[in-house]
Amino acid sequence: MKIKWALLCLAITILPMLTGCGSLMVLDPKGPQAEMTANVIWISIATMAIIVVAVFVLLIVMLVKYRASKQSEDYEPPHIEGNPVVESIIVGIPVLIIIFLSIVTVKSTYAVEATPKQHEGQEPLVVYASSSNWKWHFSYPEEDIETVNYLYIPTDRPLEFKLYSYGPITSFWIPQLGGQKYAMADMVTTLHLAADVPGEYMGRNANFSGKGFAENTFQVKAMPEDEFDDWVKEVKTTAEPLTKEKFDKLLEPGHLGQLTFSGTHLEFLPAPEGEYSGHHHGSHESHDESNMEHSEHSHQK
């Protein structure tokens, strides 16, 4: 009976893990940054598995070898002093494990923060990714186009995302291309990614930001660079221009489908970097007031 209950508990534990394997996108990398992150996860899992197996083996040995036996009532166990070798092992091994995992973590963290080695020397595609309640705006300043809730990128080319927010703090995350990074209102953070394999991937906000958080997602499509160039040309000739009035409406809280524009909002509402960084970024009134003050100051001169 006990064996049946043990097997039942084991099945209940394993089945949810197996049914969830298909959704582990972080372990299905499609870019160098994501591959490094997946390798670190596997190293951590393997290390923990070795520790768990060793602990259970030692537990079984201790239970079998030193189990209680029938002794006389006046039996007194022998007094045993500490063993230096055993104490060194039980202290030294955990210290070595922590040092090993620390080295792996630090090296991988620095690596994923930089341009992938295989793409060093290439000109990156710069994309300004800004969030609002509950949308994602992708501005391509060099291409002079902008999209909402979807992102097209070329493969085999470094990507440099400039992240910021027009609302609460969000987190930009494409699990199959790399780790997540925060987007904030008063500053720009930079995330380096790359896609090696053409395909469609899921991106989302990974930081809770209100009632619309669950649907704060976007589609990513990676394609060869010539196809990407053709798409850019098509957008420039067919998409409607993005105006300040239109962008003001896009920033209103709510959900939208996928939209495409020629031009970017960076022309009339720059990202919070350089002279535009600081508090109250995203307030159109503050931005307009600063422009008026600048114009008056110039006129007085």
Q: SS3 of 172, please?
A: strand
What's the N-to-C CA distance of the chain in angstroms?
93
Distance separating alpha carbons of residues 205 and 213, to the nearest angstrom: 7
The whole-number pLDDT of residue 23 equals 60
The whole-number pLDDT of residue 11 equals 54
Question: Which residues have C-beta within 8 Å of that of residue 272, sequence separation ≥ 6?
Answer: 164, 185, 186, 187, 188, 278, 281, 282
The whole-number pLDDT of residue 5 equals 54
Within the chain, which residues score under 70 in pLDDT? 1-23, 278-301
Is the whole-model pTM more than 0.85? no
Residue linked to tokens 């027009």: 166
The whole-number pLDDT of residue 292 equals 41
Distance separating alpha carbons of residues 125 and 140, to the nearest angstrom: 8
The whole-number pLDDT of residue 217 equals 95
DSSP 63-76: HHHT------TT--
The whole-number pLDDT of residue 69 equals 74
Dihedral in degrees, nearest 10, Cα atoms 257, 261, 263, 264: 0
The 10 Å Cβ neighbour count of residue 253 is 12
The whole-number pLDDT of residue 80 equals 79
- Kindly state the tokens that stand for 153: 């990128």
Please give the backbone phi and psi of residue 103, each rounded to the nearest 5 degrees, phi first.
-65, -45
Q: Taking a C-beta distance cutoff of 8 angstroms, is the pair 216, 209 a contact?
A: yes
Residue type present at position 229: D
Domain spans of the chain?
26-55+85-113, 121-294
- The helix or strand, by DSSP H or E, that contains position 96, with its residue range, turns out to be helix 84-113
Residue linked to tokens 């609302």: 167
The whole-number pLDDT of residue 279 equals 53
The whole-number pLDDT of residue 67 equals 78
- Looking at domain 121-294, its CATH architecture is Sandwich (2.60)
The whole-number pLDDT of residue 40 equals 95
Provide the b/e sequence for 75-103 (b: ≥16 CB within 10 Å).
Answer: eeeeeeeeeeeeeeeeeeeeeeeeeeeee
Q: Taking a C-beta distance cutoff of 8 angstroms, is the pair 222, 197 a contact?
A: yes
DSSP letter for 177, please: T
Residue 140: beta bridge partners? 145
Residue type present at position 203: G
Tell me: the pLDDT tens digits for 11-61?
Answer: 555 555 554 444 689 999 999 999 999 999 999 999 999 999 999 999 999
